[in-house]
Amino acid sequence: MRVREIDYDLSGRRPAGLLAAGDALCTFIPIYGQGMAVAAMSAVVLRETLSDPRRIPTTRRVQKALLAASRQAGDISARSDRPMPGAVGSAPASGPADRVAGWYLRRVLERYPGDPVVGTAFRSVLGLCAPVTSLFVPSVDRAVLLRPPMPTPAEPPTSPEEPGA
């Protein structure tokens, strides 16, 4: 992910009423295939925040909501890009919690092609259909922590309900 040099969500940086969304706010490396989904999610957030009768849609409030819509995709791609040579900014920084999360995610990556439980959860997160926390529910934890990686099936599943069939 590349965050634009202007921090649009911080106050006093740009004229009132100017909103950045989609690639103008946050640009992703295309290999992750998330930019279109984030642009669409930003459009939905924009509609909801502008039409919410309970809150005045100030520029900053709407901009923060737009940034939140990019957050999950940004976190995924920044984390994945961390080990790349030349990574700059806050992305390469890592503490003990990041190292544990990195260890767990490496085990997820080893298992998702062959394990239907891990695979379903991983694809849902990568496709921005589920929060990252769904990789840490007990059924996925068990597969990631206790089961060895399964071989990748040679054929595609016959149906979504029978991933191993």
| Site of interaction with ligand FAD (CB under 6 A) | 22-24, 30, 33-37, 39
By beta-carbon proximity to ligand FAD, the closer residue of 115 and 122 is 122
Paired with 26 in beta bridges are 3
Whichever of 41 and 143 has its CB closer to ligand FAD, that residue is: 41
Q: Measured from the CB of residue 87, what is the shortest distance to ligand FAD in angstroms?
A: 20
User: Least Å distance between CB 107 and ligand FAD?
Assistant: 27
Residue among 23 and 81 whose Cβ is closer to ligand FAD = 23
Residue 5 Cβ, how far from ligand FAD at the closest point, in Å?
17
Structure tokens at 58: 């100030």
Cα distances (Å, whole numbers) of residue 44 to 22, 51, 116: 12, 11, 31
Exposure class string for 44-70: b at 16+ Cβ within 10 A, else e: ebbeebeeeeeeeeebbebbebbbebb
CA geometry: angle at 70 spanning 35 and 49, to 5°? Answer: 115
Name the packing angle between helices 96-111 and 116-126 (round to 10°): 120
Cβ distance to ligand FAD smaller for residue 62 or 143 = 62
Rank residues 33 and 164 by Cβ distance to ligand FAD and give the closer one. 33
Shortest Å, Cβ 22 to ligand FAD: 2
CA–CA gap between residue 38 and residue 72 (Å, rounded): 9
CB of 31 to ligand FAD, least distance (A): 8
